[in-house]
Chain A
Amino acid sequence: MKILVCMKQVPQKDAPLKLNDAGTWIREDVSYEVNEPDAFALEEALRQKEKHTGEVVVVTAGPARSLQVLREALAKGADRAIHLEDDAFVGLDAYNTARAIAAAIKDEKFDLIFTGLQSDDYGYAQTGVILAQILGLPHATIIMQIEKTDGGIRVKRELEAGFFQFVDMPLPAVLTIQSGINKLRYATLIGIKQAKGKPMRKVTMAEVQSAMGGNLQKIERLHVPQKSKNTEFLEGPPAEVAKKLVEKLKNELRVI
């Protein structure tokens, strides 16, 4: 199986985010990490390859810093990487991101393409499905299990409120992967060393631009959400806060 994994670099979960002066994006001086479900997508690709042989290719569209995501993926066992490198890849809508990735892989034939189900920054929840439509492939979303079958694959889709569904589908196909589908591995020292020798293809914006267009949706401004409740903040050293909180639990909320 030849598998492509789309991986995105996003601000670290605990990173304190600040808006830029224009209020249109965050200040970029924060730490970054791989988008969580994308890490699970990579792990799943590596496991499928271990079962069925084949190749795992990782791709990201982002600025120079996003190379780190590809390096980590190569260290964990991906065979090669494609880096669509340009600062402008940060500001794309999901359609344009998918078009850029589709253009970068137009000469390749993958059996499976994985994306995460959703990015932590934009949260479009769209890029994988759009990519499937552009490539003319069937897709399934929010996947928690993948088995190869005679005619293709059987996947387990997560549905709301604890429901699931198996879906049989032909290959090639695009799947959006849910966090928790497997247990992540760590990169080994040997893996990190070997990563340095693995192929890394750079793709510039100019090479894919003709496949892209203007963004179809635009962020006019970002702001801090308004509170919907009158929250009372309890302050002081821990012992004092604990006392205050118990007082509230007892006299206001009456749960003690």
Chain B
Amino acid sequence: MDTILVVVEQREGKLNRVSWETITAGQAIAAQTGWTLEAAVVGSGVAAIAGDVAAKKVAKVYDIESVRLEPYTPDAFAHALKEFLGKHPAKLVLMPHTYQVRDFVPKLATAMQTTAITDVIGFRYEGGKPLFTRQMFQGKFVADVSFAGSEPCFVTFQNGSFRADKVEAGAVAAPIETVSVDVPDGVVRNKPQEVFKEAKQAVDLTQAEIIVSVGRGIKEQKNIELAKQLADALGGELAASRPICDNGWLPMDRQVGSSGQTVAPKLYLALGISGAIQHMVGMKGSRSIVAINKDSEAPIFEIADYAVVGNLFDIVPPLIEEIKKAKA
């Protein structure tokens, strides 16, 4: 039987909610192909998560267990899933494109002499052939990618490409099978320590109603002042893309994106930000988005409500003046 397996993500015994998106993706692919959808959770003492997943429309849920799977290490996860997939073959193995998955999936796919198509945003079934859509060139293009290896084909889905709230519930709870895997001594080489957050955040951008965000288009540290003036005129907070914080031009706690804060203001005004996916996941939930960028093809324009193609240094000064006038 042709099987699609979704491996949901858990960390320290908690389901990562992005996993629901992957189940939605699995359900959509199963509907198009007629293949059977199953799910698995990998960890130690994670039966409760298997139970949550079994309430969704899936044929079966596997609870893959070993004490060596907690805490997460790439060695143990790759070993456990390789052993499992050796006994329960699948055509497709789907996972969310999280930091954890990127850490072990390439290893697992290689250990099984096959491949992983990463950061996928869409699926089409054309003439009996699955085609996966993924971004390339930092979102400037999308590619249709086909799979030419031996099964399974691993596929990881970008955050937000399928909707968690569209996941279908099952008519009855799916059966759960507990599978214990043997992870022998010596397999796990890394010793992970506790997960932590760096010193307390000084600004909470998640509460801001108006955010002016600067990207590399601001060119130099001294030009940050211009963006600050715009933010002040609007009565908003200043934020930035990652390179600005990497350079130390603004503190880390003003970074928006997958490795920074996720914000949803009434207005997000992006100055000289290209719109890489890792940035967009942190701000695409904003009520309205205005982008100023000199490149008319910049991916940020794909999600902008209002777009200005041009040099920010020409546009921002008169914009500040107009705002002051309007507020006066």
The yes or no verdict on A and B being binding partners is: yes
Q: Is the CB of B274 within 8 A of A17?
A: no
A130-B106 in contact (CB<8A): yes
B303 touches A238 (CB 8 A): no
| Cβ contact within 8 Å between B192 and A167 | yes
Q: How far is the CA of A219 from the CA of B115 in the complex (A)?
A: 14
Q: List 9 A-B contacts (CB under 8 A).
A: A26-B141, A123-B118, A138-B189, A157-B99, A169-B190, A214-B148, A230-B305, A241-B308, A241-B310
Which chain B positions have C-beta within 8 A of A166? 192-193
Pick the contact of B196: A16, A19, A164 (CB < 8 A).
Answer: A164
Give the segment of B21-29, B34-42, B171-179, B313-321 that binds chain A: B313-321
The segment from A46-54, A74-82, A190-198, A244-252 found at the interface with B is: A244-252
- Which residues of A are found within 8 Å of B267, using beta-carbon distances? 249, 253, 255
Q: Is B302 an interface residue (CB 8 A)?
A: yes
Q: Which secondary structure dominates chain A's binding surface? A: mixed
Closest 7 CB pairs of A and B: A180-B246, A216-B149, A216-B115, A129-B106, A242-B318, A126-B106, A138-B189
Contact of B326 among A142, A220, A250 (CB under 8 A): A250
* Contact A233–B141 (Cβ < 8 Å): no
Closest to A232 in B: B306
What's the dominant secondary structure at chain B's contact region? mixed
Whether A246 lies near B137 (C-beta < 8 A) is no
Q: Do the beta carbons of A121 and B145 come within 8 Å of each other? A: no
A interface with B by C-beta (< 8 Å)? 11, 13-14, 16-17, 19, 26, 93-95, 98, 120-126, 129-130, 132-134, 138-142, 157-170, 179-180, 214-235, 238-239, 241-243, 245-246, 248-250, 253, 255-256
User: Measured between C-beta atoms, what is the minimum distance from B260 to chain A in Å?
Assistant: 7
Evaluate contact between B261 and A220: CB separation under 8 angstroms: no
Which chain A positions have C-beta within 8 A of B309? 233, 235
In the complex, the answer to whether A16 meets B327 with C-beta atoms within 8 Å is no
B262 contacts A16, CB within 8 Å? Answer: no
Inter-chain contacts of B305 with A (CB < 8 A): 229-232, 253
Apart from A142-B103, A165-B194: 4 A-B pairs, beta carbons within 8 A: A133-B111, A159-B99, A222-B141, A255-B210
B264 interface residue (CB < 8 Å to A): no
Q: Once bound together, how far apart are the Cα atoms of A219 and B134, in whole Å?
A: 10
Which of B140, B149, B243 is the most central at the interface, judged by chain A CB atoms within 10 Å of its CB?
B140
Residue B43 at the A interface, CB < 8 A? Answer: no
Interface window among B54-62, B162-170, B293-301: B293-301
Query: Nearest Cβ in chain A — how far from B49, in angstroms?
Result: 19
A121 touching B149, Cβ below 8 Å? no
Over the window 190-218 of chain B, the binary record of Cβ atoms lying under 8 Å from chain A Cβ atoms (1 yes, 0 no) is 11111111100100000001100000100
> Which residues of chain B are within 8 angstroms of A121 by Cβ–Cβ distance?
136-137
Q: Are A141 and B99 in contact (CB under 8 A)?
A: yes
B242 touches A179 (CB 8 A): yes
Q: Is B290 an interface residue (CB 8 A)?
A: yes
Judging by beta carbons under 8 Å apart, are B234 and A219 in contact? no
Q: A-contacting residues of B (Cβ < 8 Å)?
A: 74-75, 78, 98-99, 102-107, 109-111, 114-119, 131, 134-149, 189-198, 201, 209-210, 216, 234, 242-243, 245-246, 252-253, 258-262, 266-267, 274, 287-288, 290, 295, 297, 299, 301-310, 314-315, 318-319, 321-323, 325-327
Q: Given the complex, which residues of B lie within 8 Å of A222, measured CB to CB?
A: 136, 141-143
Q: How far is the CB of B213 from chain A (nearest CB, A)?
A: 15
Q: Which B residues are in CB contact (< 8 Å) with A243?
A: 318, 322
Contact of B260 among A13, A162, A234 (CB under 8 A): A162
Give the one of A11, A139, A221, A249 with max B CB within 10 A. Answer: A249
Give every chain A residue within 8 A of B116 (Cβ-Cβ).
Answer: 126
The reply to whether A216 and B136 form a contact with Cβ atoms under 8 Å apart is: no
Q: Return A4 CB to nearest CB of chain B, in Å.
A: 18
The reply to whether A141 and B102 contact each other, CB–CB distance below 8 Å, is yes
B135 touches A225 (CB 8 A): yes
Q: Are A256 and B142 in contact, with the CB atoms below 8 A?
A: no
Which residue of B is nearest A229, CB measured? B303
Residues in chain B near residue A165, CB distance under 8 A: 192-196
- Please tell me if the beta carbons of B246 and A217 are within 8 angstroms of each other in the complex: no
| Closest chain A CB from B152 CB (angstroms) | 12
